[in-house]
Structure 1
Amino acid sequence: MTPGHEPYGQSTGLLSAVMASCRDAIIARSFDGRIEAWNRGAEEIYGYSQDEAIGENVSLTTPPDRRSELKRLRDAARDGQVIENFDTVRTRKNGETFPVAICGFPIKDKQGTAVGYATVERDISDRVRSADELRRALAEAQDATAAKSRFLANASHELRTPMNAIVGMTALALEEDISLELRDYLETIRDSSDAMLHLINDVLDLSKFQAEEFELDETPFNPRELLEGATKVLGPAAHAKGLELVCHVAPDVPSRLIGDPVRLRQIITNLVGNAVKFTAAGEVVVELTEVESHHRRCRLAFRIADTGIGISEEDQTRIFAPFTQVDGATTRRYTGTGLGLTITQHLIHCFNSQLHVESAPGSGSEFSFELTLAIDDQPANPDAELTAKMKGLSVLVVDDNEASRQTLIEQFNAWGMKALAVDSGDEAVSQLRAGAPDGGGFDIAVVDALMPGIDGFTVASQIESDDSLATKPIIMASATDRLEFSRRCAEAGAAAFVQKPISQSQLLSAIGQATGAATLEGQRNQGLFDKPSVQPLTILLVEDTPANRKVVQTVLSRRGHHIDIAVNGREAIDEFRKKPFDLVIMDVQMPIMDGFQATEAIREIERGDSRPSTPIIAMTAHSMRGDRERCLRAGMSSYLSKPLDLAKLLKVVESVADRKDGSVAWPSNETPQKAPSEPDAEAPPSRRLVDLDAALSRLRGDRSLLRDMIGFYREDAPTLLTAIAESLEAGNLATLERAAHSLKGLSANFDAEAVVNAARDLELAARTGEEGKLSKLAADLTKAANQLMDFFEDYLGGE
């Protein structure tokens, strides 16, 4: 104790009371290293009595590896500073080490001079134990989430695999010369299969949303065909309940947009499916109109309205929660996962929009949203010749549903026809007797078959049997069974028929058939095998599922290609060693050896044998984020998801045949040798560095994938450049060769000739041991690669 200072034993009564009652350890220490005060809390925590502790060294409870903390506390107290709470460990009398939280402060005499320091030490074993349990629970939850994601991905794969066979075989059957009735059955199977795939995706999508791993694609599509196709699938369900299902697409909606048609169709299917499910009588109207259009972009309004049970204001927020329907009774009455609206809302958010609902119990519901999409180049209208022949024709529309009448009138007006609508069979007969408003007769009548009072069949029979009625061509419309419908239409004398909800293409074909402007009989749609086959390819198909092998083999064989089969990655490697192939189609998930491992082995064989790089197309039924990118990183050249789009499969496969002359490089790890040339001073910088148009063409216009690949380049190229510099400094030519080779393949994806040529030169020099050239070649490659990365940065920043 410093002479002249007040001893610790003369503390005030208040301070003694506080120390005695506090359950935390309060310990006072002198600067010369002795314990001067030890309260009851310290006795309970550490196990030493006051008599045992006072006078002992300050390190009594401090483990050897924590002694530096005492010095820090002492030095801070001498400077008059307070040490805030910090966590550490201390030792009890019985040798047990446990966690504590400590704060320290100086002890001063009456003159304000620091004479020692004190600590308040709290046993935090319970807190640490709880934190450890929380961490373990979090780790278990994360493991469970990862397991769920793996399960969902695998379950999706297992469900998609048989669906691939169903969709593929149906597509092949539709290529045959079959009757209209059988074709209709198969088209229904195809459309229903698409709907089933959407349902399979629901649970997987929910997992993606929760993990924030969802992204949209961008591809051209026809919004009218999308909307009409989505509603047609739900037509039988609507008809079974006696509902009128109307699909109305305004004539001014562009015929070609860029967006994600799969997800947009999923939105429409979910909303229309819900409307049909919760509507007992009346109608469901699906409407698409254009709000505005400028600068090659348009804003579209989607509206789905029904006359169903309605939703209370309270339930209008609750229905968007997962696994929730309007109420318990409704859950028992109406089947479903309860995920539809949850996923729909998330999907619309991904499109940067909001889903709005207007409803009241018993008054039906209206769901609406607006999307802004880019307008693609509008293709030539293949129906222009037919619509020109129909211009000026007068048509009588007979339908008891107002929405159906208005939709048909609008469409006929858009085609230049003169349309008049009535809402009953009696009015139709009266109007036909009176003639068209211009004084002549009607050229054609479109009649709803199922109407109250005089139905459409009766109207058609009266027209057919009455020679005084000039209108003979009749098109019947109904949502009833097509086979039965067609028989009754023929008996009633109808010239053609359309099935509700009526699509524009279906209506146009029926009018052409009824008026003689065109004929449906004998016509065959453009098929997969109609155009002449390109130069035959020798293809190695690697697929473990027999049904999937059969689909792909049938399609490619009928195009004239020769197919060899391997059922796993090991067999693929064995087949690849035996002979060269123009192309490998590789399933990703297989037993024994998967597609990634097989691809890596094939690339090694090519490098070892100095063989040119063979294009490898990945096939996978997984759809989690990163699957496509992983395929490309593994050395695969392109990616197709299951169920396969057969037309897309042919397009990707036969692009190899189109490029076999070497004039355009396939985006792989190898690029044909090109002679060095001086850059064209007149060409824009982007053309000297890279050809993004060619890269985008090989990616089938997938700008999202192009941006991803650019991101991969910006991520991987600096690492490879660093590896090149380190290998050069260390004299490790093998590592230098591999890094240059990887950068060459990475740059070849963009036709980046300067980088590819520089990387190839460095790779060759490292392989042949030309050490005198390496420094300059490495510098040239670094300069070219950095220029390319600068261009990519400007490109992405300007989008």
Structure 2
Amino acid sequence: MSLLTLESIKSFLIQFAEQSEQVYWLGDPEFTYLAYVSPAYEEIWGRSREALYKDPSIWISHLYPADQKIHPILKMKQKVVEDGLKARFRENYRIIRSDGEMRWIIDRGFPVSDEMGKIIAITGVAVDVTKEKQQEEVLKKAKKQVEVANQAKTEFLENMRHDIRTPLSGIIGCAELLQSKTNDLTISEYANDLVKSSHALLDFHNNVLEGIQVATGEIPFVKKKFDLRQPLEEIINLNKSLAAEKQLILQFHYDERIPQYVMGDPVRVQRILLELLSNALTFTKKGQVTVNIALKKKESREVIVELSVSDTGMGIPKDKQEEIFIRFKRLTPSYKGIYKGLGLGLTTVKQFVDDLDGEIYVESELDHGATFTCFIPFQEPFVMGETTIEEIPLPD
């Protein structure tokens, strides 16, 4: 390969500029004379280069009327006066083509000096970014529509909380009052059924609202120091009666190597175990459910905890294991009466695990139970003093 000479480099740059879809230009510092404008100018501006060579000042008249007051040339001159050879400029403006079409342009440039360091020219490149701007506007409109929809949804949820919870609470109160006042066994049973049904409807309502909130990131992320074992044991104790009622063995194993206090979100951690344990107890007719909390990794302040829930229940078919984390997705139709619930629990688990930068896996075979395993990262606190809370908004 022959060595590149100044002439060959010059030839290459000229060919590059001539064939480029961007407009390369070179003019004097006062922009009263144009030495070069690449052919792409005619394609983008829809005007001839000859006219611009004859009178560079007409360039301003081709700007979109509202942008003429920006006057990029004056800005460029001012930067050169202020910063000399270090001057760099970048301007966004709109132009009107000869056919009346508007285009968005980004123009970048810098000064050129002679051997003595004297500024003798200004050069730059103008790029047509109309398509990008149009896409940006589409995204802005879409974002605005989403914001409006989210606001409407928030108002709807607030109304739902009031319009459904209030009458339901009244029904429950009246039914409980009826239970306490009547001596008629039949009426008492009816009242008891009414209380249970109302509570079930209230739970349904709460689960739907929370499922929507989780999916849209409306539940705030709280990072605080807490005793990890405490909220987990609360969930175990809460479910002991259900396990006993179904004659299931509920086991809880906690790794003592885990630091007593960690930094994290106790609400999300507790809810993860609650949903996984509730699922396991619901879908297990006999045998046992085991909750295992183990130290997976500890390095410096980083603490990774493995939280697993295993059961001896009906299991999950291989072809359904990807679907269980989809919101409102159930493994069988409700009319078959096998799987109960809204199909929100595992979606909540997956969302919360993701919020905590963790991972979740499922191992299962039909009729051979299931094991859900979560790996959740925490940090050890610097001090064991008073608990501090740091509100961290979730990303959009």
The alignment's TM-score, normalised by the length of structure 2, stands at 0.63
| Cα drift, residue 52 of structure 1 | 1.2
SS of equivalent to 2:151? helix
1:503-542 residue pairs with structure 2 within 5 A?
A: none
Does residue 49 (structure 1) correspond to residue 52 (structure 2)? The answer is: no
Q: Quick check: 1:246 aligned with 2:247?
A: yes
2:313 maps to which residue? Answer: 307
State the superposition RMSD in angstroms: 5.1
- Quick one: distance in 1 between partners of 2:55 and 2:179? 95
Pairs within 5 Å for 1:512-661? none
In structure 2, relative to structure 1, the CA distance for the partners of 1:331 and 1:65 (3 Å cut) is same
| 1:106 maps to amino acid | P
2:158 maps to amino acid? A
Paired letter, 1:44: E
Of 200, 203, 208, which aligns to 2:208?
203
Aligned position for 1:283: 286
3-state SS, counterpart of residue 337 of structure 1: coil
Separation in structure 1 between the aligned mates of residue 75 and residue 41 of structure 2, nearest angstrom = 18
Match of 2:28 in 1: 30
Alignment of 1:776-795 (within 5 A): none
Deviations 1:29-70 (A, max 9, x none): 112432232332222323432221114245633624324323
Q: Are the structure 2 counterparts of residues 330 and 196 from structure 1 closer, same or farther at C-alpha, using a change threshold of 3 Å?
A: closer
Q: Secondary structure at the match of 2:325?
A: coil
Distance in 2 (alpha carbons) for counterparts of 1:22 and 1:356: 51
Structure 1 CA distance, aligned partners of 2:155 and 2:95? 44
Counterparts in 2 of 1:70 and 1:346: CA distance versus 1, 3 Å: closer
1:19-418 matched pairs, under 5 angstroms: 19-32=17-30, 33-58=32-57, 60-61=59-60, 63-66=68-71, 67-72=73-78, 74-75=80-81, 79-81=84-86, 83=88, 85-90=90-95, 92=97, 98-108=103-113, 114-178=119-183, 183=188, 186-214=191-219, 226-227=238-239, 245-248=246-249, 267=275, 270-271=278-279, 274-275=282-283, 283=286, 285=288, 305-312=311-318, 315-316=320-321, 318-326=323-331, 337-344=342-349, 357-366=362-371
Structure 2 matches for 1:702-721, cutoff 5 A? Answer: none
In 2, Cα distance between equivalents of 1:187 and 1:351? 41
Shift of 1:360: 1.7
Structure 1 Cα separation of the partners of residues 110 and 98 of structure 2: 25
Structure 1 residues 249 and 272: CA distance shift in structure 2, 3 A: closer
State the Cα distance separating 1:128 from its structure 2 match. 0.9
Does the 8 Å contact 2:277/2:309 carry over to 1? no
Q: CA deviation at 1:168?
A: 1.1
Distance 2:280 2:143 in 1: 40
Check conservation: 2:362, 2:370, Cα contact below 8 A.
yes
Q: Deviations over 1:661-708 (max 9, x none)?
A: xxxxxxxxxxxxxxxxxxxxxxxxxxxxxxxxxxxxxxxxxxxxxxxx
SS at match of 2:85: coil
Deviation (angstroms), 1:139: 1.2
**CA distance, structure 1, for counterparts of residue 43 and residue 27 of structure 2:** 19
Task: Give the letter for the 1:26 counterpart.
Answer: Y
Please list the CA deviations of residues 722-754 of structure 1 after superposition, one character each: whole Å capped at 9, or x if unmatched: xxxxxxxxxxxxxxxxxxxxxxxxxxxxxxxxx
| Matched letter for residue 153 of structure 2 | K
- Aligned-partner Cα distance in 2 for 1:207–1:133: 26
CA distance in 2, matches of 1:209, 1:103: 45
Q: Give the Cα separation in 1 of the matches to 2:42 and 2:353.
A: 64
- Matched residue SS, 1:65: coil
Partner Cα distance (1:350, 1:18) in 2: 49
Q: Is the 8 A contact 2:249 2:287 kept in 1?
A: no
Is the Cα–Cα contact under 8 Å of residues 226 and 265 in structure 1 kept in the other structure? no
Q: 1:270 deviation in Å?
A: 4.5
C-alpha contact (below 8 Å) 1:34/1:57 kept by paired residues: yes
Preserved CA contact (<8 Å) 1:270 1:344: no
Taking a change above 3 Å as real, the CA distance of residues 350 and 31 of structure 1, as seen in their structure-2 partners, is: closer
Counterparts in 2 of 1:193 and 1:200: CA distance versus 1, 3 Å: same
* 1:7-18 to 2 correspondences below 5 Å: 13-18=11-16
Opposite residue 208 of structure 1, the aligned amino acid is: Q
Check the 8 A contact 1:149/1:207 in 2, yes or no: no
C-alpha contact (below 8 Å) 2:182/2:188 kept by paired residues: no
Q: For each residue in 1:644-671, what CA deviation from the matched residue of structure 2 results, as whole angstroms up to 9, or x when unmatched?
A: xxxxxxxxxxxxxxxxxxxxxxxxxxxx
Identity of aligned residues (%): 19
Contact kept, 8 Å, 2:309 with 2:372, in 1: the verdict is: yes
**For structure 1, which runs of at least 5 residues remain unmatched after alignment?**
1-10, 236-244, 252-258, 277-281, 292-300, 371-793
**Which has the larger share of strand?**
2
Letter in 2 for 1:50: R
| C-alpha contact 1:89 1:100 (8 A) present in aligned 2 | yes
Cα distance in 1, alignment partners of residues 158 and 389 from structure 2: 35
Q: Does the C-alpha gap of structure 1 residues 246 and 325 become closer, same or farther in structure 2, counting only changes over 3 Å?
A: same
CA change 1:230–1:79 in 2 (3 A) is same
Aligned-pair CA distance for 1:132: 0.8
**Alpha-carbon distance in structure 2 between the residues aligned to 1:86 and 1:270:** 59
Distance (whole Å) between structure 2 residues aligned to residue 14 and residue 290 of structure 1: 66
One-letter code aligned to 2:74: S
Task: Give the residue type in structure 1 aligned to 2:55.
Answer: E
Flag the 1:324–1:148 CA change in 2: closer, same or farther, 3 A: same
Look up the equivalent residue of 1:283 and give its one-letter code. Answer: K
Instruction: Output the amino acid matched with 1:116.
Output: A
CA 1:196–1:347: 2 relative to 1, 3 Å? farther
- Between Structure 1 and Structure 2, whose CA radius of gyration is higher? 1
The Cα shift of 1:100 comes to: 0.8
**Structure 2 CA distance, aligned partners of 1:202 and 1:319?**
16
Shift of 1:116: 0.9
Distance in 2 between residues matched to 1:86 and 1:316, nearest whole Å: 53
After superposition, the Cα gap between the structure-2 partners of 1:56 and 1:798, relative to the gap in structure 1 and judged at 3 Å, is closer
Cα drift, residue 359 of structure 1: 2.3
Counterpart contact for 1:271–1:367, Cα < 8 Å: no
Q: Any idea what the Cα deviations from partners look like across 1:178-220, whole Å, max 9, x if unmatched?
A: 36675455445433432332221222112222343326999x9
The verdict on how the C-alpha distance between 1:187 and 1:224 changes in structure 2, with shifts beyond 3 A counting, is farther
SS at match of 2:106: strand
Indicate the residue corresponding to 1:476 in structure 2.
none
Q: Structure 1 residues 230 and 195, CA, compared in 2 at 3 Å: closer, same or farther?
A: farther
The answer (yes or no) to whether the contact 1:231–1:272 under 8 Å persists in 2 is no
Which amino acid in 2 is paired with 1:20?
E
Displacement after TM superposition at 1:158 (Å): 3.1
* 1:45–1:58 Cα change, 3 Å: same
Greater relative CO, 1 or 2 (CA 8 Å, sep 6+): 2
Identify if the C-alpha distance between structure 1 residues 306 and 184 changes in structure 2 by more than 3 Å, giving closer, same or farther.
farther
2-structure distance, mates of 1:92, 1:304: 69
- For structure 2, the residue ranges without an aligned partner over 5 or more in a row are 1-8, 253-265, 295-306, 376-384, 391-396
Letter in 2 for 1:307: G
State the one-letter code of the partner of 2:145: E
- Pick closer, same or farther for the CA change 1:210–1:72 going to 2, 3 Å: farther
Shift of 1:92: 4.6
